[in-house]
Amino acid sequence: MSQLSMSAPTPGAEPIADLSKAPLPTARTLRVRRNVALQFFRFLSFNSRIMRMVVKGHK
């Protein structure tokens, strides 16, 4: 079931998806996404997840 619906197009208008219910990131989230030190830890964590998947799923 879709959470973000296509808005019913009013005649003549384009059927653009209604994204007004999509959560906007907070200012803090945006800062975290750009913070080099914090992102370095995310980088290590993402790589270890890939490696776990290789071990778990590639058998």
Partner 1 sequence: MAEVLVLGAGVSGHTAALHLRRLLGRQHTVTVVSPNANWNWIPSNIWVGVGDMGKKDVVFPLAPIYARKGIGFRQAKAVAIRPSGDDEDAKGAVDIEYTEPSRAGQSERLRYDYLINATGPKLRFEATEGMGPDGFTASVCTADHAVEANEKLRETIAKLKAGQPQTLVVGMGHGTCTCEGAAFEYTFNVDHLLRAEGVRDLARLVYLTNEAALGDFGVDGMVFDQSGFQTTSELWTGSLFRERDVEAILGAHVTKVTATEIHYELLDGSLHTIAHDFAMLIPPFGGQPLKAYDAEGNDITGELFAPSGFMKVDANYTAKPYEEWTADDWPKTYAAVGYDNVWAVGIAFAPPHQISRPRKSPNGTMIAPAPPRTGMPSGVMGKTVAMTIADRIKNGPSAPSRTASMARMGAACVASAGTGLTKGSAAAMTMLPVVPDYQRYPTGRDVRETRGEIGLHGHWVKLMLHYLFIYKAKARLGWQLIPE
Which positions touch partner 1 (CB under 8 A)?
Answer: 2-4, 6, 9, 14-17, 19-25, 32-36, 39-40, 42-43, 46-47, 49-54, 56-59
Residues linked to residue 22 through DSSP beta bridges, in sequence order: none
Work out how close the CB of 35 gets to partner 1 at its nearest, in angstroms, rounded to a whole number. Answer: 8
48 vs 12, 23, 56, CA distance in Å? 50, 28, 12
Taking the complex as a whole, the smallest distance from the CB of residue 10 to partner 1 amounts, in Å, to 12
Q: How far is the CB of 50 from partner 1 (least distance, A)?
A: 5
Residues 6+ apart with CB under 8 A from 18: 4, 5, 6, 7
